Amino acid sequence: MKQQRRARAIAMTPAEVDAFLAEQRTCRVATVGSTGPHATPLWFVWQDGALWLTSLSRSQRWTDLQNDPRIAVVVDAGEDYGELRGVELRGRVEVVGEVPRTGEAVPELDAPEQAFADKYSGGTVVRDGRHAWLRLVPEKVTSWDFRKIGR
């Protein structure tokens, strides 16, 4: 994975990145389509160094990623300048499991699906036959925590 070169003084440590991504609920996903960039919010799970996304398999985002798996994802928080913090993840996604997801046994999805269910649906795993799973193992992680300015 490429290391962050700029703004190291305000970069999060790997443990801080893990904790931040575990507590946040919404990310912004940027894909590249035939007409240019496309950005959308999604829920996610960060687990074992991978970002897990469930996406409608009949969406513009899905179409974009099937044609070009490159993705940038931003997760951020804070209201005032001095409390802004966030993480940008870049890389290529891969599809995991059947498309759309209906419940075929995929051991690789057991942990992310349960973590997603625990985070967003009271522990109940939902397989609606419209969504499918994407995994991003980042090639580059950039982070910032403005609360570190002036320390």
3-state secondary structure 24-67: CCEEEEEEEECCEEEEEEEEEEEECCEEEEEEECCCHHHHHHHH
pLDDT in tens, 95-134: 999 999 999 999 999 999 999 999 999 999 989 999 999 9
Residue type, 138: P
Rounded to two decimals, the pTM is 0.92
Q: What percent of the chain has a predicted confidence (pLDDT) above 70?
A: 95
Helix %, strand %, coil % for the chain, to 5?
Answer: 25, 40, 35
Q: For 4-60, write each residue's pLDDT tens digit.
A: 565 678 999 999 999 999 999 999 999 999 999 999 999 999 999 999 999 999 999
Tell me if the bond preceding 112 is cis, omega within 30° of 0: no
